[in-house]
Amino acid sequence: MHPNNPPKSVNFKEGTVLLVDKPQSWTSFDVVNKIRYKLKYKLGVKKIKVGHAGTLDPLATGLLIICTGKFTKKLNELQALQKEYTGTIKLGASTPSFDAEMEEDSQFPVEHIDMELLEKVRQEFIGDLEQIPPIFSAIKVDGQPLYKKARKGKTIEIKPRPVKIYDFKIALTEMPYIDFYVKCSKGTYIRSIANDYGKALGSGGYLTELRRISIGDFKIEDAWNLDHLIEFIEEVEIPEEED
């Protein structure tokens, strides 16, 4: 369902796939809840299934796949697809969350970093890797998200997880910032790549910008602006069986 050529009617209960360009500062669940609320009102129902295929952090923007109705059964299949991201890493510092959501807590030298070193270390991040997720993440340990345990000051042992990086490109814009492109497997934390890459350079690093540009064959160019999608849901015709 392309925003430039939207259908005249949509059977949301039977199911559809919606591509959304997630706004910055919104959580993925905020987007799902907004769409679910609008659909419940539109359809005059108390419940309708709505879910997303792969969380984006609040500071990130980009492609979010939303499924409605019976299509929510496809979520696990969609989550398993390869993903592509672009973004920016700041070198010479780190944060507890591995991104700009928290204040810098450590400073590191960057004078020794040049394109030769950046390129050499970059190659080490392509292939099958063991990655430790950020402690401020939604991964559950003993039934509770890590970020809740972290905010309580608890010491947590996080086990490395296997991920695959198919491609990792970088461009030095102006020190200490580098732009990057990553193509990776399900479950890869780009925040962890930023942190680990900074460490491997003999410095530090954290994510300052992140945008998801594809999930499998789904592209950001085909995604809805969230406000425009809500307007579409308000105006689109609903087949008779959904009345």
Where in the sequence numbering do the catalytic residues fall?
A: 57
Pairing of strands 205-215, 177-184: unpaired
CA distance 4 to 9: 15
Structural tokens at position 193: 């790549």
Structural tokens at position 19: 């591509």
**What amino acid occupies position 59?**
L
CA distance 93 to 106: 5
Contact in structure between 158 and 146 (CB atoms under 8 Å): yes
Structural tokens at position 21: 């360009």
